[in-house]
Amino acid sequence: MINKIANSVHEAVSGIFDGATVMISGFGEAGSPIELIHALVDKGVKDLTVVSNNAGSGHVGLAALIENRQVRKIICSFPRTAISVVFPELYRKGEIELELVPQGTLAERIRSAGAGIPAFYTPTSVNTPLEEGKEKRDFNNRTYVLEHAIYADFALVKCAKADRYGNLVYNKTARNFGPIMCMAAKNTIVQAKEVVEVGDIDPEHVVTPGIFVKKVVEVPNPADESKLVEQERRYPW
């Protein structure tokens, strides 16, 4: 029998190891699997490479993971926000590595890993400083750069509903990087607001088919990251 349901966030992240590459869904707080990230903070594994669009806010979620010195390198498109304090400080001190990737290239590199495409060409970043070190090539009289897939050992993803097969649906713009990170990681770990029975999700409406998911844990009342930041909360609390 297929049963991907884990009993706790700690059980769900138990396999994550030192030095792993971990994708984390979310666009800012929307879709950020904050409870899974906090379980990872509790676990304390180190030298992680994190792939995520942003670099966290305040002192909770991804920012807490970084502040806890568990992240060696971050691959992201936008590490700068008004309430991002942890990453900038470590970055300026040279204590965390940054690979800055245009957002669409980041998304496509993630999707490519999931789709078995090792590399592709894109026009994004041509004639800018971010083309540096990349192979260039012309197709139909336009210049493109070669970009490589980003593979991950784990993905931490937040969704709205899941079943024991790992079929997922998302909520509004919290979908963002979730579906493609599920595809790209060897082990995808999902926190769902609600776990439903197999058959409750219409096959036409499934966004992430269960084949891309290894573990699901129900987190019925996920924390609201922006409220925690507003309240100046710190994790671990």
Partner 1 sequence: MVAKENITGWSVQEIAEKVANDIFDGAYVNLGIGLPELVAGRIQDGKEVIFHTENGLLGMGKPAEPGKEDPELVNAGKKYVTAIPGAAYFHHADSFAMIRGGHIDICVLGAYQVSEEGDLANWSSGNPDDIPAVGGAMDLVAGVDTIFVITKFFTKSGKPKILKQCTYPLTGKNVVKTIYTDMAIIDVENKKLKVRELAPGVEFDFLQQNTDAKLYM
**205 binds its own copies, rule: CB under 8 A:** yes
Q: How far is the C-alpha of 155 from the C-alpha of 187, rounded, in Å?
A: 6
CB of 146 to partner 1, least distance (A): 15
Give the binding range for its own copies (CB under 8 A) out of 23-31, 177-185, 192-200, 202-210.
202-210
**170 binds its own copies, rule: CB under 8 A:** yes
Which of partner 1, its own copies, none lies near 68, with the C-beta cut-off 5 to 8 A by kind?
A: none
* Cβ atoms of residues 22 and 16 within 8 Å: yes
CB of 210 to its own copies, least distance (A): 18
Which pairing describes strands 142-148 and 136-139: parallel, antiparallel, or unpaired?
antiparallel
Q: What is the dihedral of CA 196, 200, 201, 202, to 10 degrees?
A: 180
* Cβ atoms of residues 22 and 227 within 8 Å: no
Q: How far is the C-alpha of 234 from the C-alpha of 237, rounded, in Å?
A: 6
Which of partner 1, its own copies, none lies near 47, with the C-beta cut-off 5 to 8 A by kind?
A: none
CB of 43 to partner 1, least distance (A): 26
Which of partner 1, its own copies, none lies near 234, with the C-beta cut-off 5 to 8 A by kind?
A: none
Q: In the complex with partner 1, which residue's Cβ is closer, 183 or 192?
A: 183
Q: In the complex with its own copies, which residue's Cβ is closer, 118 or 236?
A: 118
In angstroms, the Cα distances linking 158 to 39, 100, 167, 207 are 14, 23, 13, 13
Q: In the complex with its own copies, which residue's Cβ is closer, 78 or 121?
A: 121
Q: What is the dihedral of CA 73, 76, 79, 83, to 10 degrees?
A: -100
**204 binds its own copies, rule: CB under 8 A:** yes
Q: Which of 82, 92, 94, 118 binds its own copies (CB under 8 A)?
A: 118
Tokens of 41: 């903070």
Total residues at interface with its own copies (CB under 8 A): 23
Q: Which of residues 131-150 bind its own copies (CB under 8 A)?
A: 139-140, 142, 144, 148
Q: In the complex with partner 1, which residue's Cβ is closer, 49 or 52?
A: 52
**Residue 93, SS3?**
coil
Q: Which of residues 52-91 bind its own copies (CB under 8 A)?
A: none
Which of its own copies, partner 1, none lies near 121, with the C-beta cut-off 5 to 8 A by kind?
A: its own copies
Neighbours of 88 (CB within 10 A): 14
Report H helices in the chain: 9-12, 34-43, 62-67, 86-92, 103-115, 178-184, 225-230
Q: In the complex with partner 1, which residue's Cβ is closer, 68 or 226?
A: 226
Backbone phi, psi, residue 181, to 5°: -70, -35
**119 binds its own copies, rule: CB under 8 A:** yes
